[in-house]
Amino acid sequence: MSSDRTDISPEVLSLCELADAAQHTVSARTLVETSLKAIKEASDFNGFVRVHEDQALVRVQHLDQLKRDGNPCGPLHGVPLAHKDMFFQAGELAECGSRILAGCRPNHTATVLQRLEQAGAVNLGALHMAEFAMSPTGFNAHLGHGRNPWSNAHVSGGSSSGSGAAVGGRFVAGALGSDTGGSVRIPAAACGVTGLKPTQHAVSTYGVMPLSPSLDCVGFLAQTARDCARLLSVVSGPDSLDPACLASRPQNYESGLERPLTTADVICVPHFSSNAPLTDEVRALVEQAEEDLAKAGATIRRVALPDFSEAGSLATLVLGVEAASIHGQWLSKRPDDYGNQVRRRIQRGCLYPATRYADALRLRTQYQARFLREYLDDGCALLLPVLPCAVPTIQETIIGSEQDIEARFGNFSYWTRGINYLGLPGLALPAGVTTNGLPNGIQLVGRPFSEAILLRLGHQYQRHTQWHRRHPRMK
């Protein structure tokens, strides 16, 4: 077993490639030390809020000994990961990007973290996030802005800001995030990585700080669709600790990825009219992705342009009410410990009539059925943008009044927020570069529990493109 390879890092290899190397020729210590070295040397990287170096080095010593003793390696053996600072681990800090939970050490561990550890993964630390996961740009009034690994003057996307940046900068091979209105897919697109938002309640959320339980999803960020398939495979399955989890059994999502696309694989693509909320250069990226999917063998079918305004508004209402319920006691006792934007959004949730909230929940299945009928019909997936524009600078997102900033937040998550209300899975894929030199992406949206289909489409798309292999040079 070699332990002196210098080309073994997330910069060179994907998560699955690293795991395969660790199972055969490379030590877990080499993989983890390579990532830790990169994190230390990146002086301008603010993606981590805490690095668990000592724990990680103890962990790899154990993993390497298991391997030397002839024990089978798990599917993530030795792979360096890090996670949004809202996944609880017993005895470890989990502050959720806030002052409210400063110093909080939960006494229980998230199911997804337990399953990643059982698979052999190594947790390198906690990642930057928007305060209580309430910003699509990565804004945090306490920690500073999430910064893009391609340009620290630009946003990283949020609220899983550190997850997108840490994977995009190739400091770790993968990361957990949460997606309540786009918070995995937006940073994935902004940082040039792959991001998977599963079907609502498909993955256990036990031990994860809630924002809006009716919308929250645990999601994954990694370099490739195959990487996301492996992460989802590891954490999939029912969880007695989370009664809302709908998974009936574990599943191997890597199985079937290599099956080529055929004319039976129908991708529905909207007619993007001139008044659609996206810029011309983002529209061009979507059109190029359409061509690439067709070259990969898929059939393209035209559909009408979905209007996400109403679904997005209903998602905002549901999030506001549920967040207000969760934060009510803190909000009344410690209002000044919230950032202004977060406090305003939570307070607004206290003002929605109960009848409007009840209607939003009651109408949800009807909206989903109509959406599937009108825009997916017999299709495998719907091709959409993730972002409406090129990745903005931080300055561009904070100018103007509080109302201006909130309106900008709403526009930024236009293409993602309604998908959470509909409860559908979405896979964000790197799809090109805009004129500002930063990455951007597309998303494939599917029917409930169609993750295997989306991941196969994404994998075949990435066999015909190389956008997922690009990465910045961090200093």
Q: Which residues are catalytic?
A: 84, 159, 183
- 182/227 Cα distance (integer angstroms): 20
Over the Cα atoms of the chain, what is R_g?
21
Output the six-digit token pair for 379.
């299709």
**For residue 57, which of 86, 83, 36, 81 has the smallest C-alpha distance?**
36
Instruction: Work out whether strand 194-197 and strand 218-222 pair parallel, antiparallel, or are unpaired.
Output: antiparallel
Output the six-digit token pair for 384.
């959409």
Per-residue CA distances from 12 to 16, 82, 150, 256, 472 (Å): 12, 18, 17, 25, 12
- 341/130 Cα distance (integer angstroms): 11
- 214/336 Cα distance (integer angstroms): 27
Q: Sheet of 439-445: strands edge to edge?
A: 48-51, 122-127, 80-84, 174-178, 218-222, 194-197, 426-433, 439-445, 381-385, 266-270, 299-303
Q: With contact defined as beta carbons under 8 Å apart, do 412 and 186 qualify? A: yes
- 330/132 Cα distance (integer angstroms): 12
Q: With contact defined as beta carbons under 8 Å apart, do 249 and 446 qualify? A: no
